[in-house]
């Protein structure tokens, strides 16, 4: 049986850490980059910069897409 190709878009969006967790970027930041942002918006942008981790239920699927196994 042939190998499954890894998804190019998944390789760009996710990173598999040594611990096995998968790191991802937070959504919703693209249209907030306003120079004269209010303090609340600045705080939100700062918090979205941190990123997050993928829920374990979806991690197996993403590992297959990235090409790092998942069995």
Which domains, from first to last, does the chain contain? 8-66 (4.10.410)
Q: Is the pLDDT of residue 70 over 60?
A: no
> If you average pLDDT over residues 13-40, what whole number do you get?
85
Segment 57-69, tens digit of pLDDT? 999 999 999 987 7
E strand residue ranges, the chain? 14-16, 22-24, 52-53
Q: How confident is the model at residue 50 (pLDDT cuts 50, 70, 90)?
A: very high
Q: Decide: 25 and 32 in contact? Cβ < 8 Å.
A: no
């Amino acid at each position: 049986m042939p190998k499954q190709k890894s998804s190019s878009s998944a390789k760009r969006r996710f990173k598999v850490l040594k611990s096995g967790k998968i790191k991802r970027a937070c959504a919703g930041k693209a249209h907030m980059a306003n120079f004269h942002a209010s303090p609340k918006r600045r705080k939100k942008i700062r918090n979205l910069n941190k990123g997050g981790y993928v829920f374990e239920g979806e991690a197996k699927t993403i590992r297959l897409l990235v090409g790092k196994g998942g069995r």
